[in-house]
A and B are shown apart, each in its own frame.
Chain A
Amino acid sequence: MSVGDTPPPPLRLRLASHGLDAVTLLVLPAAALLVALFVYPFFYGLWLSLHPKDGSIFGNYVKFFSDPFLYETIGKTLWLAVPVTVLNLVAAIPIAFRVRRMRNQRLLTTILVLPITLGTVLVAEGMLNYFGPQGWFNRTVMTLGLSATPLKLVHNYTGVFLSLVITGFPFTFLLVLSYLTGIDPVLEQAASTLGAKASSRFRHILLPLLVPGLGVTFCLGFVQAFSVFPSAVLLGAPAGPTRVISIAAYEAAFEQYDYSLASAIAMVMAAVLLAVIVAVMSLRGLFYRGPASGGKG
């Protein structure tokens, strides 16, 4: 078993045995782009946030957490994002369970993909017309006698909430649907054969398999709702109850030209997002994790 006499293989072969060859190098241009345009700006922003105009290290963060006009944006954003995300998820689950069995899903999924594709700006413009005091929605409500005066649905908290439902619900629904169709139907059939009713099949088979997916869905939906920007300006009361954290960051950067404070706000935003995601993911860890396909192929 002596290998003493054989010369060591050339460097190229040794690298190739670790999976490093010409093909692997193809990853470099894309990785370099993201280091330059994503990682570097993040650390630059972090550095910038620690070098405020007044010269102290944590000046920006002290300012953020002592000025109610700034720190209250966290609470206001959470007060929008958390209820919307929960509502979207709670509504999406039963509907996804129904649609899963539908033969012609494609029409519904195509309609639902519309608001995601068109984006929040167009939804905001449509909502200003449709939910406005003279819009079709309020006309219908008043014709049906549900309310004597037009409901105030835009330029307040409700407006932003509704816009987050209109863009967020289809997103949540399509994600839940894709997780649900990823569960092998054989598992449910087996439970059914063994005599489990629909409700217990849901509780003991489908829900545990779905929970990891729901965790991810909640996080993705929450991230979108938390970073709400155009609809909070166009449909909300951007000086009052819907002054969300991204408005504060935008104003600091592009109205006060204080990039240092703006970076600090972006860092606070990232920290809150991270905290929520870590909390949800660690909750998720308490549930079943494993394959959602059948035992035998």
Chain B
Amino acid sequence: MQQSRPIAERAWVTIVWVLTGFFVVNLLAMIGTVVTSSFATRWLGTWLPAGWTPKWYISAWDEFQLDDLLIVTFEVVFAVVALSALLGIPAAYALARREFPGKKLVMLLFLLPLLVPPVTYGIPLATVLYKSGLGGTMSGVIAANLVPAVPFVILVMIPFIEQIDPKIEAAARVFGASTFRLFVHVLVPLLLPGALAALLLVLVRTIAMFELTFLTAGPGSQTLVVALYYAVFAAGVRAVQSVDAMAVVYMLTTLVWLIVALRFVNPTQMVTRAKQQQH
């Protein structure tokens, strides 16, 4: 039954694959440039650097105070993850299990921060934070990053909770479980896989969240990505290799968590965020 495919279709398939290949090769080469440059002694006008050295990592570590930056980054990120779990998972549970008047409005409240770009709401938010004295502090950065993180956890968790049969909870009640025991022995184990996936995604997104942190951070509350922006912005002040070494450190911190996250979620889940809600 299999007919030989017409030439036009084969040409079409080839074009599609060539384009995809071109994109992927350029993408990987671009990342490769940063890594190569960070190990280069001198790299001007040749395909490969004149020599290799790890010294830029040592100088970048001192120049940019990477240890401080990493500590701040992880303090911010883990605070955001913990708070968004604490606020987001109960809210998702309520929204998945109950129908109540005004539910559509509440859903809209959780959908909008994911649809409106961070720069747009970040500027009024930064204004409010600066007026209230939180601007430029660690708490301000954490508060700003919660705005997209909490809705993200909620929208990832709702479909996950909906597919857990409520009869399981009812059965635990019938057998006399208290609310506490129901929570510890039934809900936590059931919710754990979904919560883990949602929180890992929040973690990766918060490390890479530039706009909100940039608008609200002060000198002591900068995260790695914001410091990287300033380093690239002030190009010429420091050696290119030094900035690239910092970029590689940033890449590694993100990629470690991405690899962990991809063990639990499909790559497409990184972008489909609010998809289920929009029908």
Contact = CB atoms under 8 A, between A and B. Distances in A.
B208 interface: yes
Nearest to A225: B117
Contacts of B31: 114, 118, 126
Interface string A196-207: 001000000000
Contact of A249 (B17, B29, B119): B119
Given A30-B110, A119-B208, A126-B33, A175 B99 contact: no
A119 to B, nearest CB: 4
Given A91-B19, A178-B268, A137 B26 contact: yes
Contacts of A137: 26, 29
Interface in A175-233: 175, 177-179, 198, 216, 219-220, 223-224, 226-227, 229-230, 233
A224 B29 CA distance: 24
A62 interface: no
Contacts of B215: 250, 253-254
B125 A37 contact: yes
Interface in B70-95: 87-88, 90-91, 93-95
Interface stretch (A3-11, A21-29, A65-73): A21-29
Contacts of B225: 119, 121-122
Interface in B1-58: 9, 12-13, 16-17, 19-20, 23-24, 26-31, 33-34, 37, 44-45, 47
Given A30-B154, A119-B208, A224-B117, A253 B127 contact: yes
Contact of B268 (A26, A27, A127, A174): A174
B113 A24 contact: no
A273 B37 CA distance: 39
Interface string A63-102: 0000000000000000000000000000100110011000
B110 A115 contact: no
Given A95-B19, A111-B28, A129 B33 contact: yes
A61 interface: no
A136 to B, nearest CB: 6
Interface centre among B95, B117, B240 (most CB of A within 10 A): B117
Interface residues of B, number: 90
Given A27-B94, A45-B124, A95 B150 contact: no
Given A110-B267, A117-B204, 9 more contacts: A18-B101, A31-B106, A34-B110, A37-B125, A115-B27, A119-B208, A122-B250, A126-B33, A174-B271
Interface of B: 9, 12-13, 16-17, 19-20, 23-24, 26-31, 33-34, 37, 44-45, 47, 87-88, 90-91, 93-95, 97-101, 103, 106, 109-110, 112-113, 115-121, 123-128, 143-144, 146-147, 150-151, 154, 204, 208-211, 214-215, 225, 228-229, 232-233, 235, 240, 243-244, 247, 250-251, 254-255, 258, 262, 266-268, 270-272, 275, 278
Interface of A: 18-21, 23-27, 29-31, 33-35, 37-42, 44-45, 48, 91, 94-95, 98-99, 106, 108-131, 134-137, 139, 166, 169-171, 174-175, 177-179, 198, 216, 219-220, 223-224, 226-227, 229-230, 233-234, 246, 249-250, 253-254, 259, 262-263, 265-266, 269-270, 273
